[in-house]
Structures are given as C-alpha cells and as structure tokens.
Amino acid sequence: MQLLVQPIGQSIDFGVGDNLLDTLRRAAVPISYSCSAGRCGTCRCKIIDGSIEVGGDRADCSTDAVLACQATLTENCTIEIPEPDEIVVHPARVLKGTVDSVEAPAHDVRIVRFRTNRPLSFSPGQFATVQFGRGLERPYSMASVEGDDLLEFHIRIVPGGAVSGHVARTLRRGDTARISGPLGTSYLRRKHDGPIICVGGGTGLAPVQSIVRATLESGNRKPVHLYFGVRSEADLYGAPTLAELHQRYPNLHVQIVVASGSVHAGHRAGLVPDAIAADWPDNHALQHFRGYVCGSPPMVAAVTTALVAQGLDAGRIYADAFFTQPQVVSQPA
C-alpha cells in the first residue's frame, strides 16, 4: 500500500493497520508531534485522497483534519502535512512545578511563576495543563520563553471557578503543581523573518508575550505589532512589561485598546478589530505578515476577520480561542 505526502511529494510504503504518525516518522517526513496521544494537536494533517481510520471511524477529504498519532492506514491515500519547514518536536513531559510567586497585577488576574524540577521544551505560543490538586486542572499558556528560570502563566480569576478560585484564595509560594505539556499549534513560526502582528485579549496576552519576546530576542528587526485588548482600564495588566520590551526593541509597536469606560492617555478606546482596520486601511496592507491571535472565541473570530480583510492570508493566522471551561487543544481565560 502507498501513502503519498504533499506538498513534499514523498511516497511511502505501509502495511494495513499501521499508525500514520509512526509511518511518517519512519520515513523521516518532517511533521510536528509531541504527545502521541491525541492531546496536543501538533500532528494534525489533511486527507486529500482516499480515507484513513480514526478511532474506528472513516475519515476522508471531507474531514477537516486528522491527528496523525490517532490515525490508522487502511488503503492507498494522499495526505497534506502543514508547513513542512516549520516543524516542532517537543517531547511531552510531566513536570513538578513549585510556586515561586503569585502576583496580582489586576483585580481578576494572577501571574503564577513556577520553578520546575526539569526544563520544559516548548515553542512560544504553546500551553500546558496545570494540575494544582485533585480535580483542579486547567490548560494555561506559557508567558515565558524556553530557557527562562521560571515558567510563567497568566490566570484569569473566573467568578465561581474552582481552579481560578483556588489560585486566587489558596495558592501560595512553595505549593506544588503537576505541569504537563507542551500543547497547541499556535506556536511561533520561526522561519518567517518578516513582520508579524500579534493580538491578545485579556489573559491571551500570555502566549502573545512569549511569541513577541522570542521574536525580538531572536534578532528579528522587522516590525512587530502587538494589540492588547482589555474590557476596561481596571482590567489592564502587563503594561510595564510591554513598555520595557518597547524600550529595548524599538521595532515593537504596542497598542493598548480599551473597550469601555474612560481611557488613559496613550491608550485607545474601542475594539481591537476596529483599531486594526483603522491602522491598516489598505486591504493588502498585511499580506506579508504572519498573525497570532489569542483570546475569547468571539474576539478571535472578529480579529481573524479583520486581519483577513486587511490582506493577511487566513493560512498564516495562528489562532487559539480560549474558554473558561477546559477544552481539548484550546486555552482557558
């Protein structure tokens, strides 16, 4: 039996019942993967012709995407792998994290920094599952970058939320947590050395901060535009960190966009999609950009529409919507 892999045009022999990810790895096909358990989403690919079995069901070209690690080959088929030049392979790990600090930069946000028993390899923009105790587990994005001494997460305090309530009321320096990851596909595409636009809503600042820092620290001197949307001035946090980054890297342009209430000097009133449309009126303005978007589902949808309207190719927008309840391959507020 034959598997054809596009866009690289590689043909691979396989036996009926072989796992797709194993087959691709055996043939040295460049494909991202991490957990090998259907959780991180990094091994996703598309069926172009033929069909593949996933969890006992048949998936074909009408299926959005399949996770290679969960797919079984049963007949000749053709698949497409995403961005073969942008692969990331981080071994899935479970670490022990010890809380180094819990900071309250805004009334409903806590920044929790962990010292871990061993390093976590991840790409900027990815997230991990943090388990503070039995039944107290949520995915949160890393705001730090690989190599930092501490692993940093931004946690929104949700009214009535069991996990965020624990973080707000109980969590102390010295407490421990189980950290599993990395997860997620909205990671920084490092091969792109052109301009980027990053949009974070609320604690969606965390992955955006990681992506922006990694880009700037890698020496990219192309424009980096960061839009940070908050509901009101009272919800704003992280501004000193962004100002400090701007001081160090003049190619970083930060826009703080405040949706309601009075707006402080230097900040903008309104919604992020409107700010983007006002700043990039030409509908080809963003055609050479890559975009990274993280926030609530409606915010991610509206921003993605705005970016596409200003010329950014939808396939070059990497977006993670996050929820207040745990979701597979998504991030919570």
Binding site for ligand FES (CB under 6 A): 33-36, 38-43, 67, 69
| Minimum distance of ligand FES from residue 315's CB (angstroms) | 20
Count of positions (residues) in the chain: 333
Q: How many other CB atoms sit within 10 Å of the CB of residue 20?
A: 26
* β-pairing verdict for 77-80 and 151-156: unpaired
Q: Which is nearer to ligand FES, 80 or 148 (CB)?
A: 80
How far is the C-alpha of 296 from the C-alpha of 130, rounded, in Å? 20
Q: Which is nearer to ligand FES, 63 or 324 (CB)?
A: 63
| Minimum distance of ligand FES from residue 84's CB (angstroms) | 16
Q: Which is nearer to ligand FES, 42 or 209 (CB)?
A: 42
Phi, psi for residue 142 in degrees, rounded to 5: -80, 130
| Minimum distance of ligand FES from residue 129's CB (angstroms) | 13
Indicate the SS3 state at residue 211. Answer: helix
| Minimum distance of ligand FES from residue 183's CB (angstroms) | 8
Q: Which is nearer to ligand FES, 55 or 261 (CB)?
A: 55
Q: Which is nearer to ligand FES, 67 or 275 (CB)?
A: 67
Indicate the SS3 state at residue 162. Answer: helix
- The two tokens of residue 142 are 């890393």
Count Cα neighbours of 319 within 13 Å in the Cβ-side half-sphere: 22
Which residue bears the tokens 């969960």?
70
How far is the C-alpha of 116 from the C-alpha of 176, rounded, in Å? 9
Q: Which is nearer to ligand FES, 43 or 77 (CB)?
A: 43
Q: How many other CB atoms sit within 10 Å of the CB of residue 172?
A: 8
**Counting Cβ atoms within 10 Å, is residue 89 exposed (0-12), middle (13-18) or buried (19+)?**
middle
